[in-house]
Amino acid sequence: MDQSLSNTKQDLLRALIKNREQTTTRDAAEVPSNIVQFKTGAPGGPSLFFFPATDGGASYFRYLAPHLPESVSLYGCQAPGFDEEREPFGSVEEIAAYNLRHIRAIQPHGPYYIGGFCMGGLPSYEVACQLQAQGEEVALLLNVMPVFLRPWACLPGTDALQLRAIEDHLFIFERMLGIHVVLPMDPIRALAEADRYSFVTAFMREAGFLKSPAEEHLFMHRMKMYEAGLRAMLGYKPARTFQGEIEVIVVGKPDRGELELDLNTSYTCALRSTPPEHVKYHPLDADSAAMFSGSEPDSGLIARRMGEFLR
């Protein structure tokens, strides 16, 4: 492992581990704890309720806010349990139903603008379907889908969620942050499930990535949240079909071979279940890692492309 990381990469890793937003732009009594407002738009303007990737943290949505149209309000639908206020849900349907109650407390009626990043496309799809079933108008269902080049068929499934969560973390560190971490996977596989996350956390601490007991606690909790998100993602089978078009921004770098969204991935199952003529794909030459880091110009490119559907 390269332990001589730049300060920038150390900061990015630490931010990714924490991935928490402590403040909102509204009074805490007005906004449920898992709904974070990142931007206040004009009165009467659209409010985008946006779901995060598998780990459930939404703090990086703050990088999108400055580039969205002035009229737009942006809310991040952080996963229930992310702040340890409750046990996380293990199904997309539960995540969607919980968030839908809070979304309707903020905006009682449509038109609704719903979206999600990566795995967040699944609860956003389910919320949109539930809103339509309740007689509400969904003006926009927007997915921002990263192109990840991974051997999806060979990854651990529902019978090995912990191992999948650990392998996914390695991919996230390398692909999103450029940090190469070599974990001893064979000894990890041999451990009892109750001991694996503690082992990985100790490994990361000894490598210099975790600087305090608080960071160790957050890192372990983040892996548990990711495992819950995986369980929800891998177990989701849409019971309804969205009545309308789904706008999909496909984010990838052609020079890396990230040319086409693989519909066999676990985070695209809602797109697979939708009639192809109702899904509109919009390729965008940008690095999806900028969603987490806020690095320009790609972070702004992604946000401005999102904004084109919100005017």
Residues of the chain with confidence (pLDDT) below 70: 1-33, 151-154
- Tell me the C-alpha distance between 252 and 147, whole Å: 5
Q: Which pLDDT does position 174 carry in this prediction?
A: 78
> Distance between CA 199 and CA 201 in Å, rounded?
5
**From CA 183, how far away is CA 301, in angstroms rounded?**
34
Q: Which long-range contacts (CB under 8 A, 24 or more apart) does 275-282 make?
A: 275/241, 278/242, 278/244, 278/245, 278/246, 279/245, 279/246, 279/248, 280/245, 280/246, 280/247, 280/248, 281/248, 281/250, 282/247, 282/248, 282/249, 282/250
In angstroms, the Cα distances linking 253 to 52, 202, 227, 266, 298 are 21, 34, 28, 21, 10
What is the predicted pLDDT for the residue at 20? 53
User: What is the pLDDT, as a whole number, of residue 181?
Assistant: 83
Task: Tell me phi and psi for residue 51, to 5 degrees.
Answer: -100, 140
Q: Which pLDDT value is given to residue 7? A: 52
pTM: 0.89
SS (H, E, C) the chain: CCCCCCHHHHHHHHHHHHCCCCCCCCCCCCCCCCEEEEECCCCCCCEEEEECCCCCCCHHHHHCHHHCCCCCEEEEECCCCCCCCCCCCCCHHHHHHHHHHHHHHHCCCCCEEEEEEHHHHHHHHHHHHHHHHCCCCEEEEEEEEECCCCCHHHCCCHHHHHHHHHHHHHHHHHHHHCCCCCCCHHHHHHCCHHHHHHHHHHHHHHCCCCCCHHHHHHHHHHHHHHHHHHHHHHHCCCCCCCCCCEEEEEEECHHHCCCCCCCCCHHHHHHHCCCHHHEEEEEEECCCCHHHHCCCCHHHHHHHHHHCCCC
